[in-house]
Amino acid sequence: MMDADSRPLLAFDTSTPTARVALISPAGECLVLREKTAARHSANLLGLCDEILREASLAVDHLRAIACGAGPGSFTGLRVGLAVAKGLALPSGLPLVLLSSLDALACDLAAASPSAQLLLPCIDAGKGQVYARMYGVPSDTAPCALGEVDWVLAPHALCTLAAESVADQSLLAGGTGVDRYIEVFRSVLGESSVAAAVPGPSAAAIGRLAWARIRRDEFDDLETAVPRYGRPPDITRPKNPLLVI
Protein backbone atom coordinates (compact mmCIF):
# COMPACT_ATOMS: atom_id res chain seq x y z
CA MET A 1 0.00 0.00 0.00
CA MET A 2 1.24 3.52 -0.80
CA ASP A 3 2.10 5.86 2.06
CA ALA A 4 -0.31 8.74 2.69
CA ASP A 5 1.95 11.37 1.10
CA SER A 6 2.05 9.57 -2.26
CA ARG A 7 -1.61 8.57 -2.58
CA PRO A 8 -3.58 10.20 -5.41
CA LEU A 9 -7.03 11.66 -4.95
CA LEU A 10 -10.16 11.05 -7.00
CA ALA A 11 -11.70 14.26 -8.34
CA PHE A 12 -14.87 14.91 -10.32
CA ASP A 13 -17.28 17.62 -11.37
CA THR A 14 -20.93 17.20 -12.41
CA SER A 15 -22.04 20.83 -12.61
CA THR A 16 -22.57 20.64 -16.40
CA PRO A 17 -23.94 17.98 -18.78
CA THR A 18 -20.43 16.48 -18.98
CA ALA A 19 -19.32 14.44 -15.97
CA ARG A 20 -15.53 14.63 -15.66
CA VAL A 21 -13.52 12.31 -13.39
CA ALA A 22 -9.75 12.17 -12.84
CA LEU A 23 -7.10 10.61 -10.65
CA ILE A 24 -4.73 13.38 -9.54
CA SER A 25 -1.28 12.83 -8.01
CA PRO A 26 0.03 14.96 -5.11
CA ALA A 27 2.15 16.83 -7.68
CA GLY A 28 -1.02 17.77 -9.59
CA GLU A 29 -0.45 15.34 -12.45
CA CYS A 30 -3.56 13.91 -14.10
CA LEU A 31 -2.92 10.15 -13.99
CA VAL A 32 -6.19 8.88 -15.50
CA LEU A 33 -9.11 10.81 -16.98
CA ARG A 34 -12.64 9.86 -17.99
CA GLU A 35 -15.65 11.91 -19.03
CA LYS A 36 -19.13 11.38 -20.39
CA THR A 37 -21.88 13.73 -21.53
CA ALA A 38 -25.46 12.77 -20.66
CA ALA A 39 -28.76 14.27 -19.59
CA ARG A 40 -28.32 12.71 -16.15
CA HIS A 41 -25.15 11.59 -14.38
CA SER A 42 -26.74 9.04 -12.05
CA ALA A 43 -26.15 6.17 -14.49
CA ASN A 44 -22.60 7.19 -15.41
CA LEU A 45 -20.62 8.69 -12.55
CA LEU A 46 -19.97 5.58 -10.47
CA GLY A 47 -19.04 3.69 -13.63
CA LEU A 48 -16.50 6.36 -14.60
CA CYS A 49 -14.98 6.24 -11.10
CA ASP A 50 -14.77 2.44 -11.28
CA GLU A 51 -13.06 2.57 -14.69
CA ILE A 52 -10.42 4.95 -13.38
CA LEU A 53 -9.69 2.95 -10.25
CA ARG A 54 -9.50 -0.30 -12.22
CA GLU A 55 -7.08 1.22 -14.74
CA ALA A 56 -4.88 2.46 -11.91
CA SER A 57 -5.23 -0.85 -9.99
CA LEU A 58 -6.38 1.03 -6.90
CA ALA A 59 -9.07 0.43 -4.30
CA VAL A 60 -11.03 3.37 -2.92
CA ASP A 61 -9.32 3.12 0.47
CA HIS A 62 -5.93 3.55 -1.24
CA LEU A 63 -6.85 7.14 -2.15
CA ARG A 64 -5.88 10.26 -0.20
CA ALA A 65 -9.28 11.96 -0.51
CA ILE A 66 -12.40 12.46 -2.60
CA ALA A 67 -12.67 15.88 -4.26
CA CYS A 68 -15.94 17.08 -5.75
CA GLY A 69 -17.10 20.18 -7.59
CA ALA A 70 -19.86 21.67 -5.44
CA GLY A 71 -21.33 24.01 -8.06
CA PRO A 72 -23.02 26.23 -8.95
CA GLY A 73 -24.55 24.33 -11.84
CA SER A 74 -27.15 21.72 -12.63
CA PHE A 75 -29.18 20.98 -9.49
CA THR A 76 -29.57 17.29 -10.34
CA GLY A 77 -25.95 16.95 -11.43
CA LEU A 78 -24.65 18.51 -8.22
CA ARG A 79 -26.81 16.25 -6.05
CA VAL A 80 -25.58 13.17 -7.89
CA GLY A 81 -21.96 14.29 -7.61
CA LEU A 82 -22.09 14.97 -3.90
CA ALA A 83 -24.03 11.75 -3.20
CA VAL A 84 -21.36 9.72 -4.97
CA ALA A 85 -18.57 11.65 -3.22
CA LYS A 86 -20.10 10.98 0.19
CA GLY A 87 -20.84 7.37 -0.73
CA LEU A 88 -17.18 6.78 -1.60
CA ALA A 89 -15.74 8.72 1.32
CA LEU A 90 -17.92 7.49 4.18
CA PRO A 91 -17.27 3.71 4.25
CA SER A 92 -13.57 4.13 3.50
CA GLY A 93 -13.02 6.93 6.02
CA LEU A 94 -11.59 9.22 3.36
CA PRO A 95 -11.74 13.00 3.76
CA LEU A 96 -14.08 14.98 1.53
CA VAL A 97 -12.96 18.17 -0.21
CA LEU A 98 -15.51 20.38 -1.98
CA LEU A 99 -14.49 23.03 -4.50
CA SER A 100 -16.31 25.78 -6.36
CA SER A 101 -16.99 24.70 -9.93
CA LEU A 102 -16.46 28.34 -10.99
CA ASP A 103 -13.03 28.33 -9.31
CA ALA A 104 -12.11 25.23 -11.31
CA LEU A 105 -13.42 26.70 -14.56
CA ALA A 106 -11.40 29.86 -13.90
CA CYS A 107 -8.28 27.67 -13.70
CA ASP A 108 -9.21 26.07 -17.03
CA LEU A 109 -9.64 29.51 -18.62
CA ALA A 110 -6.28 30.65 -17.23
CA ALA A 111 -4.61 27.61 -18.77
CA ALA A 112 -6.34 28.30 -22.11
CA SER A 113 -5.23 31.95 -22.21
CA PRO A 114 -2.24 32.74 -19.95
CA SER A 115 -2.21 36.37 -21.13
CA ALA A 116 -5.71 37.22 -19.86
CA GLN A 117 -5.75 39.59 -16.88
CA LEU A 118 -9.37 38.94 -15.92
CA LEU A 119 -11.39 35.75 -16.24
CA LEU A 120 -15.15 35.30 -16.37
CA PRO A 121 -16.07 31.60 -15.97
CA CYS A 122 -19.73 31.08 -16.84
CA ILE A 123 -21.93 28.03 -16.18
CA ASP A 124 -25.41 27.73 -17.70
CA ALA A 125 -27.99 28.19 -14.94
CA GLY A 126 -31.08 27.44 -17.04
CA LYS A 127 -34.14 29.71 -16.93
CA GLY A 128 -32.35 32.21 -19.18
CA GLN A 129 -29.60 32.87 -16.62
CA VAL A 130 -25.87 32.27 -16.18
CA TYR A 131 -23.79 31.58 -13.07
CA ALA A 132 -20.55 33.57 -13.16
CA ARG A 133 -17.87 35.35 -11.19
CA MET A 134 -14.96 37.62 -12.07
CA TYR A 135 -11.42 36.46 -11.30
CA GLY A 136 -8.05 38.15 -11.27
CA VAL A 137 -4.93 36.27 -12.35
CA PRO A 138 -2.00 36.58 -9.91
CA SER A 139 1.34 35.56 -11.38
CA ASP A 140 2.15 32.89 -8.80
CA THR A 141 -1.19 31.42 -7.65
CA ALA A 142 -4.49 30.11 -8.93
CA PRO A 143 -7.03 32.69 -10.21
CA CYS A 144 -8.42 34.80 -7.38
CA ALA A 145 -12.16 35.49 -7.11
CA LEU A 146 -13.09 39.16 -7.07
CA GLY A 147 -16.12 40.07 -4.97
CA GLU A 148 -17.92 38.17 -2.25
CA VAL A 149 -20.61 36.20 -4.09
CA ASP A 150 -21.30 34.41 -7.38
CA TRP A 151 -23.52 36.16 -9.92
CA VAL A 152 -26.67 34.61 -11.37
CA LEU A 153 -27.85 36.93 -14.13
CA ALA A 154 -29.42 37.06 -17.57
CA PRO A 155 -26.62 36.93 -20.18
CA HIS A 156 -26.95 40.54 -21.40
CA ALA A 157 -27.03 41.90 -17.84
CA LEU A 158 -24.00 39.77 -16.96
CA CYS A 159 -22.04 40.95 -19.99
CA THR A 160 -22.90 44.58 -19.27
CA LEU A 161 -21.75 44.23 -15.67
CA ALA A 162 -18.55 42.49 -16.77
CA ALA A 163 -17.82 45.16 -19.39
CA GLU A 164 -18.17 47.87 -16.73
CA SER A 165 -15.65 46.02 -14.53
CA VAL A 166 -12.95 45.45 -17.14
CA ALA A 167 -11.57 48.99 -17.67
CA ASP A 168 -8.43 48.58 -19.80
CA GLN A 169 -7.64 45.00 -18.73
CA SER A 170 -7.88 41.96 -21.02
CA LEU A 171 -10.81 39.65 -20.27
CA LEU A 172 -11.61 36.07 -21.22
CA ALA A 173 -15.09 34.58 -20.71
CA GLY A 174 -15.89 30.91 -21.25
CA GLY A 175 -17.90 27.90 -20.13
CA THR A 176 -21.31 26.42 -20.84
CA GLY A 177 -23.00 29.73 -20.02
CA VAL A 178 -21.01 31.42 -22.75
CA ASP A 179 -21.58 28.59 -25.22
CA ARG A 180 -25.36 28.84 -24.84
CA TYR A 181 -25.48 32.62 -25.30
CA ILE A 182 -22.32 33.13 -27.32
CA GLU A 183 -23.74 35.77 -29.66
CA VAL A 184 -24.73 37.94 -26.68
CA PHE A 185 -21.25 37.63 -25.19
CA ARG A 186 -19.57 38.42 -28.51
CA SER A 187 -21.76 41.44 -29.16
CA VAL A 188 -21.20 43.01 -25.73
CA LEU A 189 -17.68 41.90 -24.78
CA GLY A 190 -16.15 41.51 -28.23
CA GLU A 191 -14.88 38.49 -30.14
CA SER A 192 -11.43 38.50 -28.53
CA SER A 193 -12.89 38.25 -25.01
CA VAL A 194 -14.96 35.12 -25.68
CA ALA A 195 -13.68 31.54 -25.67
CA ALA A 196 -16.01 28.92 -27.14
CA ALA A 197 -16.24 25.28 -26.03
CA VAL A 198 -13.86 25.44 -23.06
CA PRO A 199 -13.70 21.87 -21.65
CA GLY A 200 -14.47 22.58 -18.03
CA PRO A 201 -14.89 22.72 -15.13
CA SER A 202 -12.26 20.01 -15.48
CA ALA A 203 -11.64 17.24 -12.98
CA ALA A 204 -7.93 18.08 -13.19
CA ALA A 205 -8.60 21.63 -11.95
CA ILE A 206 -10.85 20.30 -9.18
CA GLY A 207 -8.09 17.92 -8.11
CA ARG A 208 -5.32 20.53 -8.10
CA LEU A 209 -7.41 22.97 -6.10
CA ALA A 210 -8.24 20.13 -3.70
CA TRP A 211 -4.57 19.38 -3.10
CA ALA A 212 -4.03 23.02 -2.11
CA ARG A 213 -6.83 22.70 0.47
CA ILE A 214 -5.50 19.36 1.75
CA ARG A 215 -2.08 20.91 2.38
CA ARG A 216 -3.83 23.55 4.49
CA ASP A 217 -5.72 20.78 6.37
CA GLU A 218 -9.05 22.09 5.05
CA PHE A 219 -11.73 19.45 4.66
CA ASP A 220 -15.54 19.34 4.49
CA ASP A 221 -17.86 17.64 6.92
CA LEU A 222 -19.54 14.57 5.46
CA GLU A 223 -22.78 15.11 7.38
CA THR A 224 -23.32 18.80 6.69
CA ALA A 225 -21.79 19.27 3.21
CA VAL A 226 -24.34 20.44 0.63
CA PRO A 227 -24.12 21.54 -3.01
CA ARG A 228 -23.56 25.18 -3.90
CA TYR A 229 -26.71 25.59 -5.96
CA GLY A 230 -26.43 29.30 -6.75
CA ARG A 231 -30.15 29.89 -6.24
CA PRO A 232 -33.00 28.12 -4.38
CA PRO A 233 -34.05 24.77 -5.87
CA ASP A 234 -37.14 24.79 -8.08
CA ILE A 235 -38.92 22.21 -5.92
CA THR A 236 -39.95 23.52 -2.49
CA ARG A 237 -42.53 22.63 0.12
CA PRO A 238 -45.96 24.23 -0.47
CA LYS A 239 -46.73 27.01 2.02
CA ASN A 240 -50.10 25.49 2.98
CA PRO A 241 -49.93 21.78 2.28
CA LEU A 242 -53.21 19.90 2.37
CA LEU A 243 -53.50 17.20 4.98
CA VAL A 244 -54.59 14.01 3.27
CA ILE A 245 -56.15 11.38 5.55
Q: Based on the domain organization, do 168 and 132 belong to the same domain?
A: yes
Residue 226 located in a structural domain: no
Q: Based on the domain organization, do 31 and 56 belong to the same domain?
A: yes
Which range marks the domain in which residue 137 is found? 102-193
Distance, in Å, from the CA atom of 234 to the CA atom of 216, rounded to the nearest integer, reads: 36
Q: Based on the domain organization, do 144 and 24 belong to the same domain?
A: no
How much is the average pLDDT of 95-114?
97
Q: Based on the domain organization, do 55 and 130 belong to the same domain?
A: no
Q: Based on the domain organization, do 116 and 154 belong to the same domain?
A: yes
Residue 166 located in a structural domain: yes
Residue 95 located in a structural domain: yes
Q: Based on the domain organization, do 108 and 95 belong to the same domain?
A: no
Q: Is 234 exposed, middle or buried (0-12, 13-18, 19+ CB in 10 A)?
A: exposed
Residue 57 located in a structural domain: yes
Q: Based on the domain organization, do 210 and 175 belong to the same domain?
A: no
Q: Which residue has the higher pLDDT, 242 or 82?
A: 82
Residue 133: the pLDDT is 97
- How many domains is the chain built from? 2
Mean pLDDT across the chain: 92
Residue 245: the pLDDT is 35
pLDDT, tens only, 70-84: 999 999 999 999 999
pLDDT, tens only, 181-221: 999 999 999 999 999 999 999 999 999 999 999 999 999 99
pTM for the full predicted model = 0.92
Distance, in Å, from the CA atom of 77 to the CA atom of 195, rounded to the nearest integer, reads: 24
Please report which confidence band the pLDDT of residue 153 belongs to, taking 50, 70 and 90 as the band edges.
very high
Distance, in Å, from the CA atom of 216 to the CA atom of 6, rounded to the nearest integer, reads: 17
Residue 4: the pLDDT is 60
